[in-house]
Amino acid sequence: MVQRSRKKEKRLNLLLHPLRREIYRLVCETPGVYFFELSSALTAPHGTVNWHLRKLEEASLINSMKFGGKRVYYSRNLRSKDVEKAFVVLKHITARKVFAFILNNENCHQTQIAKSLGIHHDTVRHHTLRMEQANLVESFKNGRKTCYKLGEIGIKLQEESLNTISNTYIAALMDILEENCLHPEIEEMSKDHLTIRIECPGSTDASFTISLDQWSFGDEDEIDSTMQEREVIKEET
């Protein structure tokens, strides 16, 4: 009897609870999501949301970290810590403009960025420091000037989507569900879409879908504007 009760508790700790399932979906679909953003998207009290987040962490379905003074939640095995940090940094429109400029003007320096975007040097420094923490860019000295180039995550973001559903993620998720007395079955699967049905003996089956948007680091007009300014900056230097 005790063993049966423990199995039932383990199942409830995962994705059979509708609110917990919805929270997990939001964490998966929203890179770099804060607690306030999660709470705002739900009708549940903050304390209830926080409790379910803790249970999801205990079940090894999600992780959290402090970045930029706020706690960020993310799905395990779906995206790396640095990728989550990158999404946090690039939520800010000025940061996206700075990153787009660096992307299109490799080895540019602070003065070029500030002058082109019409922002203060300290603003450039603030955003580039956060980008360095996320490995979006790297800084180096060229004489007395601080210059920037793309970092590991910045290069990957330029070359491919960092918001995809991998086989590694699916395998890890299926293992966790199976280890906790659930019987998951994949109904649909692609690089940006996953639907799983969970069969649970003695309980109602549940299903959930994760759909990932192909997120970009900036609006097209921002990027086009930056590219048009590229030749002007080169002439000035």
203 and 229 share one domain: no
Range of the domain at 68: 2-78+164-211
230 and 180 share one domain: no
pLDDT of amino acid 68: 85
123 and 222 share one domain: yes
Q: In a structure prediction context, what are the per-residue pLDDT tens digits for the chain, which is 237 residues long?
A: 444 445 455 545 578 888 999 999 999 999 999 999 999 999 899 999 999 999 999 999 999 999 988 999 999 999 999 999 999 999 999 999 999 999 999 899 999 999 999 999 999 999 999 999 999 999 999 888 999 999 999 999 888 778 889 999 999 999 988 887 678 899 999 999 999 998 876 667 888 899 997 655 444 444 444 434 443 334 443
Straight-line distance from the first to the last Cα atom of the chain, in angstroms, rounded to the nearest whole number: 78
Rounded alpha-carbon distances, angstroms, from residue 74 to 40, 43, 63, 111:
17, 20, 5, 35
Per the listing, tokens 């940090």 go with: 85
Cβ(15)–Cβ(207) below 8 Å:
no
14 and 126 share one domain: no
Residue 172: Cβ within 10 Å count:
17
Report how far residue 198's alpha carbon sits from residue 187's, in angstroms, rounded to the nearest whole number. Answer: 10
Is the alpha carbon torsion for 50, 55, 58, 61 positive or negative? Answer: negative
Report how far residue 80's alpha carbon sits from residue 68's, in angstroms, rounded to the nearest whole number. Answer: 17
12 and 66 share one domain: yes
Report how far residue 52's alpha carbon sits from residue 38's, in angstroms, rounded to the nearest whole number. Answer: 12
Cβ(138)–Cβ(148) below 8 Å:
yes
Report how far residue 92's alpha carbon sits from residue 166's, in angstroms, rounded to the nearest whole number. Answer: 27
19: CATH: 1.10.10.10
226 and 197 share one domain: no
94 and 185 share one domain: no
72 and 90 share one domain: no
16 and 100 share one domain: no
66 and 120 share one domain: no
**What order of strands is seen across the sheet that includes strand 183-190?**
183-190, 193-199, 206-211
